Amino acid sequence: MPDEALLARIDRLESLDEIRQLAAKYSLALDMRDLDAMVNLFPEDVRVGKDKVGRAHFKQWMDETL
């Protein structure tokens, strides 16, 4: 197997593992009602509705929703 193909496979496996870890962290944060942990799993510029952007707005929305 060429080095390039091997590197592509390794990259894919690492990406899949990161996705699994993200899903597990999200589930744990949700179960524990840890809004800070949950909010930090999202990008800093997360959109909340039509006109709000940012983790602070997302945390406020999550707090009101949960």
Q: How confident is the model at residue 49, as a pLDDT? A: 92
Q: pLDDT (tens digit, 9 = 90+) per residue, 9-27?
A: 999 999 999 999 999 999 9
Is residue 1 predicted with pLDDT exceeding 80?
no
Mapping DSSP onto H, E and C, the string for the chain reads CCHHHHHHHHHHHHHHHHHHHHHHHHHHHHHHCCHHHHHCCCCCCCEECCCEECHHHHHHHHHHHC
Is residue 66 predicted with pLDDT exceeding 80?
no
Give the integer Cα–Cα distance in Å for 48 and 66: 15
pTM above 0.95, yes or no: no
For range 35-62, the mean pLDDT: 95
User: Where do the domains of the chain lie?
Assistant: 3-65
Contact 41, 59 (CB under 8 A): no
